[in-house]
Structure 1
């Protein structure tokens, strides 16, 4: 394979990677929570569906805000700053309805496939949270 062909393959691969987990601008907009789970204090997984959780998250210009309800009642909310680089997404809440942990920042691994954004938060080798969001339609 020629050097030019290798360069072309590299550029295409880089573009595909960026489309999956790209820069912060690819995440801007409104998102609706589709599903998720977290690990409770007893170390057991709890599906968001069992808590009847619904949520909306807004991302714009490095800022985020979200509201989550449980069975139609307020569950949690927060706002602050975010950054996304490669496959890492970090939220730093400035206001929250819950006690902040981890020094006030939450780091996730993420993928973006079309209009589906999946976030996973890990503590060491254990996944402690997973959320699946879908870009809200504008119609």
Structure 2
């Protein structure tokens, strides 16, 4: 099962005759999110909207658009949410920096806890205190 090929939802009538264009279409489709499923690329989704997006991608490629131009066209039409990998920009900075901030804050917390521990040796009981503990234990 580990070596099984991923299931693609591309229908035979969508496949382009030119293998180079079809490969480009698959690469672009793997970067676009199905707006219905939201966890899958349009290449993996059976939703009607995903099929429409796959057709749009193939039409744009057949018209001669470059890969970035096709992605830009789809993003302009459907918004940045359609991208499976968000762009690194000012408005997505918090999205990209949150994992780094979480690790840094966790490390800082662990460092602070480590500093709270006593730095010196642990104090032992004096002989009189040990005798008192032994007497208490004998009574019980």
Q: TM-score, normalised by structure 2?
A: 0.22
Q: Taking CA–CA contacts closer than 8 Å with sequence separation of 6 or more, which of the two structures ends up with the larger relative contact order?
A: 1
Larger Rg: 1 or 2? 2
